[in-house]
Amino acid sequence: MTHRFVLKRISADAIARSVERAVHYRLLNDPEQAESICLDILEVDDRNEPARIALILSLTDQFGGGGGTHAARRATEQVGKLAGAYERAYYAGLVAERQGRAHLLRGGMARTFAYEGLYEAMEHYEQAEALKPAGVDDAILRWNACARTIERESLQPRRDEPEHLLE
């Protein structure tokens, strides 16, 4: 027999503290708890950007373990709900970068996917750089980190298969 629970709603006046709790659980390396808290916040206040960002980050924290593809799809969906164009570009880059880094940890053939993820992240960071507020160079810092990782790890794009001519 499967239990179906009706989730309890948090109160609107608990949102600020709950965002702090989500960040706290991320720092404790408990992204599933942080994710759950963020979902509770967004159920009450769907426009809460700090909670949405914490949710995106908690989902990307889960890329290294099982279910990374599901978490990546959900993180990308949340990025699309961010209010600002800069934030959407920056966090799309962060999702791609963390996917790339998760592939890098797997090693072997996954290194090609690591390159692709990091390169895609760099493209998003360039978009974010063009939209950045004055004094916010986060996208540049992330772009440089991706470039250094690609160079340090000697990552290469996927090679196309040679064409075989029929004779």
Distance CA 76, CA 52 (A): 11
CATH number corresponding to 12-82? 1.25.40
Of the pLDDT bands very low, low, confident and very high (cuts 50, 70, 90), residue 2 is confident
Distance CA 46, CA 64 (A): 27
Q: What mean pLDDT comes out for the span 53-70?
A: 87
Specify the pTM. Answer: 0.90
Q: What SS3 state is found at 141? A: helix
Instruction: Give, to the nearest 10 degrees, the angle between helix 138-152 and helix 110-131.
Output: 160
The yes-or-no verdict on residue 159 having pLDDT over 90 is no
Give the Cα-Cα-Cα angle 48, 56, 95 (nearest 5 degrees).
Answer: 140
Of the pLDDT bands very low, low, confident and very high (cuts 50, 70, 90), residue 127 is very high
